[in-house]
Amino acid sequence: MEKLIVKQAYTGETLAELEMHDNTRVQQMLSMAQTLHKAGRLPEAQRIEVLQKLANLVEIEHEDFSRLIANEGGKPIRDARVEVTRAISGIRIAIIELGNIKGEEIPMDYTPAGVGHKAHTILESIGVVVAVSAFNHPLNLAIHQVIPAIASGCPVIIKPAGLTPLCTLRLAALIQEAGLPVGWVQVALLNNENAEKLVTDPRVAFFSFIGSAKVGWSLKSKLAPGTRCALEHGGVAPLIFDEYANEEDFVSGVVKASMYHSGQVCVSVQRIYVAEKRMQDLAQKIATVAAGQVVGDAINEDCDLGPLISAKETDRIELWVNEAITSGAQLITGGKRINAVSYEPTVLLNPPKDAKVSTQEVFGPVVCIYGYKTLDEAIEQANSLDVSFQAAVFSDNVQRAMEVAAKLEASAVIINDYTTFRVDWMPFAGRKHSGYGIGGIGYTMRDMLEHKMIVVKK
């Protein structure tokens, strides 16, 4: 039996040794899930009771989950606690959203053909849900994929990231403890071959994917006919800095927004556009704060930046930064590897427009600052890539900020806050290569339901 070794993100110490599932087990999971769906979804009152109990159970284990996130995923313990709080809130949001999801009456007498008929819609569970999750928010991403399925009455099979499966396994155990019958939530520990067999099986009604664009789009192309899906990939998030008086707060905040979880967030600020006359000064201020960040083991209370998820990713970031500097970028701070899995907080000024750090998601503690002559030039550069997720603009001129927001190609534009802003009930989605469909607890619940119209002839 193939083994999955889960290691502490910074020290490499073994946290768990797990048995992976083979294709036989995949088929068993799918059969069980399909059987449960065909038998009919659980009553809404039962689902609500499970979710209420689950929220309380996760809250009891708040610190245990926080330490698990820090150890297996490398997210600083202070930020890990925020993730757990969000996860608990996400469970409760699903309960609220159940009250907002309902069918509707369809008017039928607009034309003579419809006279004498009445119609309304009802919502039914779509069927078996398969979710493939990412490493960077090991609890909250599972919440966003599993909890909507429970709330909507769909059996769900989730494959967590191989590097960070422990939060998902513990969450699944608590879901069962909260009273959800066996089989409605299953956790699959799979290699890539068996994961693809799971995802592409014709019994899958809905596929939820959070991860790299390359993998997500490839899997989408292989889905069985009729399988619906939602893909959430990354971006190269742009922020346009106009005239903004509270510069000190902006600088400290933008370091957090670009370096949070060592930049391993799909909407991390990566490209900052500043008027040419201000770019050097602002870059230096950002660099000063960035250089003061404490890098180390995420479990330590004083840690600001934990490790990268693997040595391979650290290798890649090191290569990209070195290429940018060789090609003309000015290194303001950082630019060096600390150890196998850690990299210094790095600020680059005016890297070439075609450099990897300018065109691809770094997913590391690297932020790039570019000068612009006009706002239209900044907007053009912000829109120049084939990825598009959240964007931001800072300006004391509200009208100008709204004009910039209207021109930015993004699924959300945040004014006077950062691209990382999110609450879990808002729509969250990528455009272009950055994704497909809309995330957010309530929006995902709606994706997992199908409309059925009932027409009655009077």
> Is residue 429 assigned to a domain?
no
Structure tokens at 405: 């927001």
- 322 lies in the same domain as 212: no
- Residue 276 sits in a domain whose CATH number is 3.40.309.10
Average pLDDT over residues 229-248: 95
Ramachandran class of 258: left when φ > 0, alpha when ψ lies in -120 to 50, beta otherwise: alpha
Cβ proximity of 160 and 133 under 8 Å: yes
Quick one: 187 and 328 in the same domain? no
Q: How many structural domains comprise the chain?
A: 2
Decide: residue 202, CB within 10 A, 0-12 exposed, 13-18 middle, 19+ buried.
exposed
Please check whether residue 262 lies inside any domain of the structure: yes
246 and 122 within one domain: no
| Statement: residue 1 has pLDDT above 80 | no
In this structure, the answer to whether residues 146 and 275 fall within a common structural domain is no
**Would residue 257 count as lying in a domain?**
yes
Q: Is residue 428 part of a domain?
A: no
Inside any domain, residue 108? yes
> In angstroms, rounded to a whole number, what is the distance separating the alpha carbons of residues 401 and 248?
19
Would residue 443 count as lying in a domain? yes
Give the confidence band of 125 by pLDDT, cuts at 50, 70, 90. Answer: very high
442, part of any domain? yes
Nearest to 359 by CA among 233, 217, 272, 236: 236
Q: What is the CATH classification number for the domain harbouring 69?
A: 3.40.605.10
Report the amino acid identity of residue 146. V
**Residue 432 contacts residue 87 (beta carbons within 8 Å):** no
The reply to whether 219 and 290 lie within a common domain is no
Using a 10 angstrom Cβ sphere, with 0-12 exposed, 13-18 middle and 19 or more buried, the burial of residue 245 is: exposed
| Position 348 confidence tier, pLDDT thresholds 50, 70, 90 | very high
pLDDT in tens, 264-281: 999 999 999 999 999 999
Residues 191 and 256 occupy one common structural domain: no
Q: Which of 221, 240, 209 is nearest to 395 (CA)?
A: 240
Mind telling me the catalytic residues?
232, 266
Give yes or no: residues 352 and 451 share one domain. no
pLDDT, mean over the chain: 97
Domain identity same for 180 and 271: no
Distance CA 372, CA 67 (A): 43
Q: Provide the sign of the torsion angle of the four alpha carbons 246, 249, 252, 258, taken in this order.
A: negative
Specify whether 208 is located in the same domain as 275.
no
Cα-based distances in Å from 210 to 135, 143, 335, 444: 9, 12, 29, 13
Of how many residues is the chain composed? Answer: 458
My answer on whether 267 and 412 are in the same domain is yes
22: containing domain? 3-233+434-457
Q: Is the pLDDT of residue 255 over 90?
A: yes
Q: Six-digit token pair at 112?
A: 């003579």
Same domain, 263 and 308: yes
pLDDT at 428 over 80: yes
pLDDT at 457: 96
**Residue 162, domain member (yes or no):** yes
Asked if residue 247 and residue 173 are part of one domain, the reply reads no
